[in-house]
């Protein structure tokens, strides 16, 4: 029995990764989720307690957050018999307490080579995968709420670390010169002052009618279907599902280099583009070349990168192998 814990009230990249992996793991073993804030195969507390008290079959409890690993350790103190797995979702150095808890796990999973190399604990590198049937090259231009024919999309919570202001500054001249292009942000506004800065800049530049802010959605694939370009300007990422999702949709993806898995997935100029974090000029130059059609990438080749190497099926296979040897 494989049980992933999810103790978080809002949809995040972690949520989406668990929702994808559970059905894929069910091809190998019974898999379910205990917790809240997620639409996936649920297991009740009664069934969870029964599973961890059974001597008949091995139970895996897979945690992703500190509150989840604390809950798992409580179950162990109460006599629960299971193997504990913890996935580290951040590139930053763990706090001392986090480090202490991580050492209690039977196995630690990391998501990127950088994360794996920098974590001073034994770990297994197993990147997330995505559902390549859900994220496809279909098009639906109605979701963006913009009248422009061509859309630059930015996915993520509106806050400085995600770099949305960098994107609008880099795109401003291209938008002014190309009125058929628009810029659409999707995600919860975490920092209202920052969102106001973005809109004020757009208004001052005369491009406010080419920009839209859209709320979070549980169907992000519909947003991708409206876009032509996806820009990921994050200063740091634990992983970056957006990169995989956008590329699986065949979209030209421009992402910060050496952040999350961006440089692991993207070969600059071949299946996407990379630029240094906070480098407005570098991003501006890439956008101009794409919009002016001075450079272009093959959508099928972009998508094939993900199908071949970053699918949810490959991730599930690697995870189940880890579970089986614990």
301-312 residue pLDDT tens: 999 999 999 999
Q: Where are the domains of the chain?
A: 2-129+311-325, 150-309
* Reported confidence tier of residue 39, pLDDT bands at 50, 70, 90: confident
Compute the Cα dihedral for 152, 155, 161, 164 and give only its sign: positive
Tell me if 159 sits within 8 A of 194, measured CB to CB: yes
CATH 2.60.40.420 holds for 150-309: no
Q: For residue 162, count other CB atoms closer than 10 A to its CB.
A: 25
Residue 171 CA to residue 180 CA, distance in Å, equals 13
Q: What is the pLDDT of residue 238?
A: 82
Q: Which of 265, 221, 204 is nearest to 240 (CA)?
A: 265
Q: Which of 108, 71, 72 is nearest to 90 (CA)?
A: 108
Q: What is the CATH T-level fold of the domain 2-129+311-325, as seen in this structure?
A: Rossmann fold (3.40.50)
Q: What is the pLDDT of residue 37?
A: 92
Please tell me if the domain spanning 2-129+311-325 has the same topology as the one spanning 150-309. yes
Q: pLDDT tens digit string along 249-271? A: 999 999 999 999 999 999 999 99
């Amino acid at each position: 029995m494989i049980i992933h814990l999810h103790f978080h009230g809002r949809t995040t990249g972690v949520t989406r990764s668990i929702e994808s992996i559970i059905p894929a793991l069910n091809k190998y073993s019974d898999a379910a989720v205990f917790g809240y804030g997620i639409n996936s195969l649920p297991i009740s507390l009664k069934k969870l307690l029964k599973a961890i008290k059974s001597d008949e079959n091995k139970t895996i409890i897979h945690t992703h957050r500190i509150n989840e690993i604390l809950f798992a350790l409580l179950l162990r103190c109460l006599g629960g018999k299971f193997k504990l797995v913890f996935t580290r979702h951040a590139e930053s150095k763990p706090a001392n307490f986090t480090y202490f808890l991580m050492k209690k796990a039977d196995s630690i999973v990391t998501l990127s080579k950088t994360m794996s190399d920098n974590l001073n604990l034994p770990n297994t590198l197993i990147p997330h995968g995505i559902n390549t049937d859900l994220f496809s090259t279909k098009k639906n231009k109605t979701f963006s709420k913009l009248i422009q024919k061509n859309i630059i999309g930015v996915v993520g919570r509106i806050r400085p670390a995600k770099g949305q202001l960098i994107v609008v500054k880099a795109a401003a001249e291209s938008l002014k010169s190309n009125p058929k292009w628009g810029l659409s942000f999707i995600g919860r506004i975490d920092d209202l002052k920052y969102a106001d800065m973005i809109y004020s800049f757009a208004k001052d530049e005369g491009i406010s009618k080419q920009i839209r802010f859209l709320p979070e959605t549980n169907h992000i694939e519909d947003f991708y279907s409206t876009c032509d370009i996806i820009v990921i300007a994050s200063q740091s990422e634990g992983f970056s599902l957006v990169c995989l999702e956008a590329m699986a949709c065949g979209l030209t993806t421009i992402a910060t280099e050496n952040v999350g898995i961006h440089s692991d997935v993207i070969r600059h100029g071949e299946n996407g583009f990379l630029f240094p974090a906070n480098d407005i000029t570098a991003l501006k130059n890439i956008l101009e070349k794409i919009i002016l059609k001075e450079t272009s990438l093959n959508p099928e080749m972009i998508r094939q990168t993900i199908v071949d190497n970053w699918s949810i099926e490959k991730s599930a296979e690697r995870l189940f192998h880890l579970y089986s040897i614990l």
